[in-house]
Structure 1
Amino acid sequence: MSTREGAPAVAALFKALGHQARLELLCLLDGADLTVGQLTEASGMSQPLVSQHLRTLRQANLVVGCRNGKEVVYSLADHHVAHVVRDAFTHVTEGDHHD
């Protein structure tokens, strides 16, 4: 896939990453696989809001859910997701980027 052909998919990825709450959920999932209830408790967000953001993250193929009885356990889709998020945090915390 060329850069031009892949640009819409990459733009959609960054759009999904472009919300603070979704980044927080991804950071939580970088440490462990969690249920909606656990994500709600850890993030301080309401359950409907967590579910809404998880839906967006699933649609962007950033997280996957696996049913475990009555609950769904969420995890990062793959190691690339954690890498992108970690790199973004490193980029903004490294300080002045001007030469």
Structure 2
Amino acid sequence: MDDNLEPVAELFKALSSPSRLRLLRLLADGSETVGHLATASGLSQPLVSQHLRTLRSAGLVSVERAGREAHYAIADEHVSHIVDDAVKHALET
């Protein structure tokens, strides 16, 4: 049972940044471009891109290219549930 905890630890590592959590919450409403995410989050475009790379490598977001634009989206609904549940739990204490 405890042999497969490394991927779980990596998931929590990817979720450990408030900026990445903010981006995931923004993506819960639908796919967005880096530019829109930067404006909505108040982060710079390079920083948003860096966070999205981390989230993508963790399998939390997917990307679809349309010409020169990349549209990022939540990989599956489980991701939104994990983030929402964590936020609710943290605010209860």
Larger of the two Rg values belongs to structure: 1
The amino acid that maps onto 1:19 is S
Q: Which runs of 5+ in 1 are unaligned?
A: none
The amino acid that maps onto 1:8 is E
Q: How many residues align?
A: 93
Distance 1:79 1:16 in 2: 17
Q: TM-score, normalised by structure 2?
A: 0.96
Deviation, 1:60, is 0.3
Show structure 1 runs of 4+ deviating over 2 A: none
Q: TM-score, normalised by structure 1?
A: 0.90
Deviation, 1:6, is 2.1
Once the two structures are aligned, what percentage of the paired residues are identical? 54
Q: RMSD value over aligned CA atoms?
A: 0.9
Out of 65, 68, 84, the position equivalent to 2:66 is 68
Out of 71, 87, 90, the position equivalent to 1:89 is 87
Deviation, 1:5, is 2.8
Distance 1:86 1:5 in 2: 27
Q: Secondary structure at the match of 2:28?
A: helix
